[in-house]
């Protein structure tokens, strides 16, 4: 899948809902950062909350998740 047709937020959302179903709340906005070959989507907590959230890395050329973990 070419990068122009990859909806990185949708790919990350589907993965998070399947693998980390209780890890994301409506207050957590995904932050996308771009590297040369990947996108990283980090679900950050609001300032008033403690804890962590999922971090998903997606390869641009394939639109596939190549790394995923949850921070604390």
Mean pLDDT, range 44-64, rounded to an integer? 90
At 64, is the pLDDT very low, low, confident or very high (cuts 50, 70, 90)? very high
Is residue 43 within 8 A of residue 58, CB to CB? The reply is no
What pLDDT is stored for residue 4 in this prediction? 64
What pLDDT is stored for residue 32 in this prediction? 96
Task: Report the SS3 class of residue 25.
Answer: coil
Mean pLDDT, range 27-50, rounded to an integer? 90
Whether residue 2 is predicted with pLDDT greater than 60 in this model: the reply is no
CA-based nearest residue to 15, from 57, 45, 60, 49: 57
What pLDDT is stored for residue 72 in this prediction? 81
Distances (CA, A) of 33 to 13, 21, 41, 49: 15, 23, 7, 22
Whether residue 3 is predicted with pLDDT greater than 70 in this model: the reply is no
């Amino acid at each position: 899948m070419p990068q122009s047709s990859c909806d990185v937020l949708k790919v990350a959302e589907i993965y998070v809902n399947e693998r980390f179903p209780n890890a994301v709340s409506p207050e957590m906005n995904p932050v996308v950062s771009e590297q040369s070959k990947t996108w990283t989507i980090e679900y950050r907590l609001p300032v008033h909350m403690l804890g962590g959230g999922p971090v998903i890395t997606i390869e641009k050329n394939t639109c596939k998740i190549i790394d995923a973990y949850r921070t604390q």
